[in-house]
Structure 1
Amino acid sequence: MDQFKLVATAASGLEAIVGKEVRRLGYEPSVENGKVFFRGDKSAIARSNLWLRVADRVKIVVGEFQAKTFDELFEKTKALPWETYLPLDAEFPVSGKSVKSTLFSVPDCQAIVKKAIVNRLSEKYRRQGRLMESGALFKIEVALLKDQVTLTIDTSGVGLHKRGYRVMQGGAPIKETMAAALVLLTSWHPDRPFYDPVCGSGTIPIEAALIGRNIAPGLNRQFASESFDWMPQEIWQAARTEAKELANYEQPLDISGSDIDHRLIEMAKQNAEQAGFPDVISFKQMQLADFRTDKEYGVIAANPPYGERLEDEEAVIKLYKEMGEVFQALPTWSIYVLTSYEAFEEVYGKKATKKRKLYNGYLRTDYYQYWGPRKPRQDK
Structure 2
Amino acid sequence: MRTGTSIEYYAPCTLGVEPALERELIHLGALEVESQPGGVRFRGDRRLGYTANLWLRSAIRVQELLDRFPAASPEELYKGAQRIDWAELMSVDDTLLIDSTVADSAIRHSKYAALVVKDGIVDWFRERLGRRPSVDRLRPTLPMKLVIRNNRASLWRNLSGPSLHKRGWRPIQVKSPLNESTAAGLLLMTGWDAKSTLVDPMCGSGTFVIEAALLAADRAPGRNRAFAFERWPDFDAALWESIKSAADDRAKASLPFAIQGADRHGGAIEIANKSAREAGVSDLVRFDRRDARDFAPREQPSIVVVNPPFGKRVGEGEGLVDSWRDLGNFLHESAVGAAAWVLCGNKDLTRHLGLKSNERHVVRNGQIDCRWLRYDVGAQAGHVARGERPAPWVTRFASRVPKQGRVLDLACGTGRHVALFTEQGHQVTAVDRDLSQLGAIADHTQVETIEADLEGGAWPLEGRRFDGIVVTNFLSRALLPKLLEALAEGGVLIYETFAVGQERFGKPTNSDFLLRPNELLDAFGSLEVVAFAHGEFREPKPAMRQRICALRPL
Deviations 1:282-303 (A, max 9, x none): 1111111113358445111001
- Note the residue ranges of structure 1 that are not aligned, 5 or more in a row: none
Letter in structure 1 aligned against 2:130: Q
Contact 1:198 1:288 in 2 (8 A): yes
Structure 1 residues 245-254 or 304-313, which shifts more?
Answer: 304-313
- Structure (1 or 2) with the greater strand fraction: 2
- Corresponding residue SS for 1:24: helix
Letter in structure 2 aligned against 1:239: I
**2:129 maps to what in 1?**
127
**1:369 maps to what in 2?**
374
Distance 1:75 1:280, change over 3 A: same
Distance 1:239 1:202, change over 3 A: same
Q: TM-score, normalised by structure 2?
A: 0.64
Matches within 5 A, 1:10-89: 10-28=13-31, 29-89=33-93
Letter in structure 2 aligned against 1:355: R
Selected match of 1:140 from 137, 140, 144: 144
Matches of 1:166 and 1:132 in 2, distance apart?
A: 31
Matches within 5 A, 1:157-176: 157-176=161-180
Matches of 2:278 and 2:314 in 1, distance apart?
A: 29
Distance 1:36 1:310, change over 3 A: closer
Contact 1:187 1:334 in 2 (8 A): no
Matches of 1:37 and 1:62 in 2, distance apart?
A: 14
Distance 1:221 1:313, change over 3 A: closer
Residue 148 of structure 1 and its aligned partner are, at CA, apart by: 2.7
**1:178 maps to what in 2?**
182
**1:191 maps to what in 2?**
195
- Corresponding residue SS for 1:95: strand
Deviations 1:252-286 (A, max 9, x none): 23111100111211111111111112232111111
Contact 1:98 1:145 in 2 (8 A): yes
Residue 16 of structure 1 and its aligned partner are, at CA, apart by: 1.9
Residue 133 of structure 1 and its aligned partner are, at CA, apart by: 7.5
Deviations 1:236-266 (A, max 9, x none): 1011011112222233231111001112111
Matches of 1:305 and 1:76 in 2, distance apart?
A: 48
Q: Report the identity percentage.
A: 28
Residue 312 of structure 1 and its aligned partner are, at CA, apart by: 5.6
Distance 1:319 1:63, change over 3 A: same
Task: Give the count of matched residue pairs.
Answer: 375
**1:203 maps to what in 2?**
207
| Structure of greater relative contact order (alpha carbons < 8 Å, 6+ residues apart) | 1
Alignment pair present for 1:117 and 2:118: no
Alignment pair present for 1:240 and 2:244: yes
Distance 1:237 1:287, change over 3 A: same
Selected match of 2:281 from 277, 282, 290: 277
Matches of 1:218 and 1:360 in 2, distance apart?
A: 21
Selected match of 2:337 from 328, 332, 337: 332
Matches of 1:321 and 1:163 in 2, distance apart?
A: 33
Distance 1:331 1:131, change over 3 A: closer
Alignment pair present for 1:316 and 2:320: yes
Residue 332 of structure 1 and its aligned partner are, at CA, apart by: 0.6
Contact 1:215 1:243 in 2 (8 A): yes
Deviations 1:158-208 (A, max 9, x none): 211111111133222111111112221223223311100111111110000
Selected match of 2:350 from 345, 349, 355: 345
Matches of 2:195 and 2:117 in 1, distance apart?
A: 52
Distance 1:115 1:56, change over 3 A: same
Contact 2:198 2:301 in 1 (8 A): no
In our comparison, the structure showing a higher alpha carbon Rg is: 2
**1:2 maps to what in 2?**
3
Deviations 1:43-74 (A, max 9, x none): 22211110010101111111123421112212
Matches of 2:195 and 2:97 in 1, distance apart?
A: 47
Superposed CA RMSD in Å reads: 2.5
- Corresponding residue SS for 2:3: coil
Letter in structure 2 aligned against 1:22: L
Matches of 2:248 and 2:184 in 1, distance apart?
A: 19
Contact 1:201 1:267 in 2 (8 A): yes
Letter in structure 2 aligned against 1:6: Y
Distance 1:190 1:14, change over 3 A: closer
- Corresponding residue SS for 2:25: helix
Letter in structure 1 aligned against 2:342: V
- Note the residue ranges of structure 2 that are not aligned, 5 or more in a row: 379-398, 404-554
